[in-house]
Amino acid sequence: MTLSNNVLCLQLQRRLLLVVVTFFLLLSSALAQGEEEEDGPYRGKYLGKLNSYHHQVSGDVYAVNEFTFLIVGFNYDGNGADTFFWSGASNRPGPQGFIVPDEYGKTNILDRYHNKDFTLTLPDRKKITEIKWLAVYDLNNQNNFGDVYIPEDFEPPMPQLGGTFSKRSHNVSSSSIQILDSKTIRIKDFTYDGQGKRTFFWTGVGAQPSSRGSKLPDERGYLDPIRKYNMETIDLQLPGDKTIFDIDWISVYDVADNENYGHVLINDGLNVPPSLVKVIPFEFSLPNCRQLHKDLQVSWEVFGPQITFQLSGQVAANDYMSFGISGSDVSSQMIGSDVVVAYIDEIRGYSVDYNITSLAPCVQVLGQNKGVCRDDVVGGLDSFQLNTYARKDGINTISFRRLLKSSDDGDKEIFLDRSNYVVWAFGQLDSNNEPAFHTYYPKSDIVIDFNTTEPVNDCFAFTSQKETPPQLWERTRITDASVRSFNAYLGPSGGLRGYQGLTGHVSSGLAWYINGYMIPELYLKRGLTYTFKVRGGNNPHSPEHYHPLVITDDPQGGYDRLSDAKQSEIRVLAGVEFTRRGRPKPTAAGPLCLSRYPPNYDRRLDDIFPTFKKFNRSLITECVDEAPALLEITPNITWPDTVYYNSFTHGNMGWKIHIVDSYTNLRNGARPLTWSLAIILLPWMVLQY
Ligand SMILES: *[C@@H]1O[C@H](CO)[C@@H](O)[C@H](O)[C@H]1NC(C)=O
Ligand SMILES: *[C@@H]1O[C@H](CO)[C@@H](O)[C@H](O)[C@H]1NC(C)=O
Ligand SMILES: *[C@@H]1O[C@H](CO)[C@@H](O)[C@H](O)[C@H]1NC(C)=O
Ligand SMILES: *[C@@H]1O[C@H](CO)[C@@H](O)[C@H](O)[C@H]1NC(C)=O
Ligand SMILES: *[C@@H]1O[C@H](CO)[C@@H](O)[C@H](O)[C@H]1NC(C)=O
């Protein structure tokens, strides 16, 4: 070989090397991309593509936690004879292993799959770190159709511990935060004095908290300034499609003064489980949108003298959404407000104009309707025209329009030359399709400027997750044969753990308290005489606090509000007599005795109380010093086995009376509820673990 040949050779070798190196660089970057799966939602730790050998097996495999795989885009033609998901700890798939139950937890022979996403959980609490591979395997022929290997250094995604909130001012502090999954942050022992001006949970990117961030809904999904916290453990969920990989810090931040009261940094690249929350994208039809709560949006457009609104809410199918102009010009106030109540029933959608003169269901007070009343029952006009309504992916969307200045003088004008204080609420409808006590409503001022030159929009996608059923307060039964008299007075109905949870009925906000308990079930024996000492208010001018006690066979109560036809179907057992003209008249209206919240209390926090006893202790009881009205009853053979005590004026305040022939054997019959509830919840708890 000559010298020149040698040089040529070297040059050639270099070229080749370059090509080879470039090739490997490209390859490895391609591989890296495969590993990271940069685009698309975070799904956990990527384990790789299923190696495909037979029967068109393919798909991507992730680990979402120690026990569970997520398979994305899984395909299998279903033609194997005896084929299962199969896993084991041997070096490669073979007869040594165990069946991994399918996405339904079943160990059936696999059917055909076309581009399916699902999770598989290893049986018997086996961990992914204890196995070497997951395969689609035919047990009969011992044939491997496809597999994926667990890397040696695999670490399963797990909740990760983070830092503590820095203590800067307003007593902000916490223990270590926990990143539970890609969207959920648990703050332990969180404290804040509640004294900031416009202070929020605030999140964003960069080394330090700054005004260039965005609001984080509080633990109940509110976007209002946050309340005072005293060593509480709360879970915050990042809104819309945001994940912890999109943020660098969480702060308690005052946007009025641009001041950071304390913050915590979020580490990069946390190996946490993916969030199970489903993000529901939405399409706008109107240019402006305000997020009122995590689960409620209002969007609008002004056109000439007219404004079109659209309410979208993640609510139950029959729940109502309400929005309107405040009763006050200087704050957001329910009383005096002019609102729309929008809902969808089995047949169609509605946008009904309401006038709120008192925080109680609409009742007749001396010939006049008072409370939360439809405009058309208080002499006004329904000023809203329904446009469209739809329910999709658990979201109700209802659009309607009205004139800025409507022809009904009772309606509030919507101003364009200034901002408007607004109110909103959502919750359940009662059996008359009237709004019951709202579950969600703001406590702070909300101001909207409807006149926008550039569209404004702070809305984010809805996120849905399995709701944790609330743990109910203790159920009380008064089965003591020696108790023949009952003190009946009024108190708040509590939140989801209280009246609503215990009865499954919507609540009006108030409930009967009997012998110190909220809506106990009473056991009365036929032939014995019992006395109710009634203190539910005897001023018929009061829309909120006029509650004669009645006993009927109707669970809902509110006899006076019902139509004649409905009334005729109900058997009244006590508490009502009929005038000569056949009008019902209550007989047991006593002085008002009311357990009420202390001043400045936020009743939306009722569910924080673990028991009724503790809740009851937080209340203040005030009673008019007059003798109670007496309602004496002697149940007889004609009484049905279950009757109900209730209010004559409002629905959904009382509960059951069991009419028995003997008090013995009752103890066995009165089975505590906790068991049946546990049985219902068990599968759920196992799933969550
Ligand atoms: C802040 O905390 C201190 C003690 O840590 C306490 O004395 C003070 O009352 C707290 N301030 C507020 C407004 O809660
Ligand atoms: C609504 O209530 C207010 C009192 O708060 C009253 O002035 C107004 O006329 C009522 N509107 C209608 C439509 O009846
Ligand atoms: C709407 O806002 C614009 C600019 O802010 C203002 O010029 C206009 O007068 C407003 N419209 C009404 C009806 O007040
Ligand atoms: C609830 O509070 C009232 C008034 O303080 C009290 O009389 C009653 O015994 C309490 N009920 C219970 C179950 O503790
Ligand atoms: C049974 O009770 C009802 C309702 O209290 C009463 O109207 C009726 O007269 C009673 N019947 C008998 C047989 O005592």
Query: Tokens 């300034």 sit at which residue?
Result: 225
Question: Among 113-127, 235-249, 281-295, which is the least confidently predicted range?
Answer: 281-295
Determine if ligand 3 sits within 6 Å of the CB of residue 417: yes
State yes or no: pLDDT of 394 exceeds 50: yes
SS3 566: helix
> In whole angstroms, what is the distance from residue 647 CA to residue 664 CA?
30
User: In the predicted model, what is the mean pLDDT of residues 475-493?
Assistant: 95
State yes or no: pLDDT of 14 exceeds 60: no
> What is the pLDDT confidence band of residue 39, given thresholds at 50, 70 and 90?
low
User: In the predicted model, what is the mean pLDDT of residues 558-564?
Assistant: 91
SS3 22: helix
> In whole angstroms, what is the distance from residue 20 CA to residue 2 CA?
26
State yes or no: pLDDT of 687 exceeds 60: no
Largest CA distance in the chain: 131
- Tell me which residue of 408, 400, 420, 212 sits closest to 306, measured CA to CA: 400
For ligand 1, pick from 171, 189, 190, 192 the residue to mutate: most ligand atoms within 8 Å of CB.
Answer: 171
Ligand closest to 192 (CA) is: 1
Please say whether the beta carbons of 399 and 309 come within 8 A.
yes
For ligand 5, pick from 636, 657, 659 the residue to mutate: most ligand atoms within 8 Å of CB.
Answer: 636
User: In the predicted model, what is the mean pLDDT of residues 244-267?
Assistant: 96
* CA 111 to chain CA mean position, Å: 36
What residues have CB less than 8 Å from 353, skipping those under 6 apart?
Answer: 338, 339, 340, 374, 375, 376, 380, 381, 382, 383, 384, 402, 408, 411
Ligand 5: list residues with CB < 6 Å: 573, 636, 638
Ligand closest to 228 (CA) is: 1
> In whole angstroms, what is the distance from residue 43 CA to residue 41 CA?
6
Per-residue model confidence (pLDDT) at position 667: 57
Using CA positions, which residue lies closest to atom 8 of ligand 1? 171
What are the distances in angstroms from CA 16 to CA 19, 24, 176, 273? 5, 12, 55, 44
Using CA positions, which residue lies closest to atom 3 of ligand 4? 516
Question: What distance in angstroms lies between residue 282's CA and the mean position of ligand 3's atoms?
Answer: 30
> In whole angstroms, what is the distance from residue 239 CA to residue 104 CA?
29
Using CA positions, which residue lies closest to atom 4 of ligand 3? 453
Chain mean pLDDT for the chain: 89
Question: What distance in angstroms lies between residue 506's CA and the mean position of ligand 2's atoms?
Answer: 26
Question: What distance in angstroms lies between residue 597's CA and the mean position of ligand 4's atoms?
Answer: 14
User: In the predicted model, what is the mean pLDDT of residues 602-628?
Assistant: 94
State yes or no: pLDDT of 32 exceeds 70: no
For ligand 3, pick from 302, 403, 416 the residue to mutate: most ligand atoms within 8 Å of CB.
Answer: 416
For ligand 2, pick from 355, 359, 406 the residue to mutate: most ligand atoms within 8 Å of CB.
Answer: 355
Strand order across the beta sheet in which 656-660 lies: 477-478, 521-525, 656-660, 642-647, 549-552, 572-574
Q: For residues 582 and 15, which has the higher predicted lDDT (pLDDT)?
A: 582
Domain boundaries along the sequence of the chain: 45-149, 160-265, 283-464, 477-687
Question: What distance in angstroms lies between residue 451's CA and the mean position of ligand 3's atoms?
Answer: 7
What are the distances in angstroms from CA 454 to CA 389, 422, 457? 27, 21, 10
Q: Which fold has domain 283-464?
A: Immunoglobulin-like (2.60.40)
What residues have CB less than 8 Å from 103, skipping those under 6 apart?
Answer: 116, 118, 119, 120
* CA 107 to chain CA mean position, Å: 34
Using CA positions, which residue lies closest to atom 4 of ligand 1? 171
Question: Among 36-40, 485-489, 528-532, 664-668, which is the least confidently predicted range?
Answer: 36-40
Using CA positions, which residue lies closest to atom 7 of ligand 5? 573
Ligand closest to 576 (CA) is: 5
Question: What distance in angstroms lies between residue 390's CA and the mean position of ligand 5's atoms?
Answer: 51
Ligand 4: list residues with CB < 6 Å: 516-517, 613, 616, 621
State yes or no: pLDDT of 31 exceeds 50: no
Please say whether the beta carbons of 91 and 132 come within 8 A.
yes
Determine if ligand 3 sits within 6 Å of the CB of residue 409: no
Percentage of the chain beyond pLDDT 70 is 91
Summarize pLDDT for 60-103 with one digit per residue, the tens: 999 999 999 999 999 999 999 999 999 999 999 999 999 999 99
What are the distances in angstroms from CA 153 to CA 47, 70, 128, 132? 11, 19, 12, 11
State yes or no: pLDDT of 688 exceeds 50: no
> What is the pLDDT confidence band of residue 390, given thresholds at 50, 70 and 90?
very high
Summarize pLDDT for 398-424 with one digit per residue, the tens: 999 999 999 888 899 999 999 999 999
**Where would I find the beta strands (DSSP E) of 150-256?**
160-161, 178-179, 184-192, 199-204, 214-216, 229-237, 249-254
Using CA positions, which residue lies closest to atom 1 of ligand 1? 171
HEC secondary structure over 470-500: CCCCCCCEECCCCCCEEEEEEEECCCCCCHH
Please say whether the beta carbons of 381 and 353 come within 8 A.
yes
Per-residue model confidence (pLDDT) at position 156: 93
State yes or no: pLDDT of 219 exceeds 80: yes
User: In the predicted model, what is the mean pLDDT of residues 373-388?
Assistant: 91
Beta bridge partners, 427, equal 320
> What is the pLDDT confidence band of residue 182, given thresholds at 50, 70 and 90?
very high
For ligand 3, pick from 417, 452, 456 the residue to mutate: most ligand atoms within 8 Å of CB.
Answer: 417
Using CA positions, which residue lies closest to atom 8 of ligand 4? 516
- Tell me which residue of 297, 329, 350 sits closest to 414, measured CA to CA: 329
Question: What distance in angstroms lies between residue 139's CA and the mean position of ligand 3's atoms?
Answer: 75
